[in-house]
Amino acid sequence: EAGVAQSPRYKIIEKRQSVAFWCNPISGHATLYWYQQILGQGPKLLIQFQNNGVVDDSQLPKDRFSAERLKGVDSTLKIQPAKLEDSAVYLCASSLDTDVPNEQYFGPGTRLTVT
């Protein structure tokens, strides 16, 4: 079974620039999550999709971050404009469903450095 795919793996941008990350979840997984993991901390949920609908985006800084999952499969996370404090690893995860307890499968992450 193929895992969660993310690209790019690394990105370096200057502050005020824009950046986009892509995630392809495990086939058949209805739920998709984007997490931000700052160095030395645990992942923090930014947004959760169930198919192509948003379940929770309460911790997404909506003035600069946006995410979409138009066809209920792949997802993109965008930052515009980036700030220095956005430097982190952005993790995508997917799971079969949120109605029952089950594993979230994580991708390898995209390491963003904002200079």
Partner 1 sequence: GESVGLHLPTLSVQEGDNSIINCAYSNSASDYFIWYKQESGKGPQFIIDIRSNMDKRQGQRVTVLLNKTVKHLSLQIAATQPGDSAVYFCAETKYFNKFYFGSGTKLNVKP
Considering beta carbons, is residue 4 or 79 the nearer one to partner 1? 4
| CB-based burial label for 53 (10 Å; 0-12, 13-18, 19+) | exposed
Give me the sign of the Cα torsion angle 49, 53, 55, 56: positive
Position 89 contacts partner 1 (CB under 8 A): yes
Position 4 contacts partner 1 (CB under 8 A): yes
Strand residue runs (E) in 1-115: 5-7, 10-13, 19-24, 31-37, 44-50, 53-56, 65-68, 75-79, 88-95, 105-106, 110-114
Interface mask toward partner 1 for 28-47; x: CB under 8 A: ---------x-xxxxxxx--
Longest dimension (CA), the chain: 41
Query: 53 is written with which tokens?
Result: 């609908």
Residues between 9 and 28 with contacts to partner 1, criterion CB under 8 A? none
Position 98 contacts partner 1 (CB under 8 A): yes
What is the DSSP code (8-state) at residue 96? S
Amino acid at 27: S
Per CB under 8 A, the segment of 11-19, 62-70, 73-81, 89-97 that binds partner 1 is: 89-97
Position 93 contacts partner 1 (CB under 8 A): yes
Least Cβ distance, residue 79 to partner 1 (angstroms): 19
Position 70 contacts partner 1 (CB under 8 A): no
Which parts of this chain interact with partner 1 (CB under 8 A)? 4, 37, 39-45, 48, 55-56, 89, 91, 93, 98-101, 103-109, 111
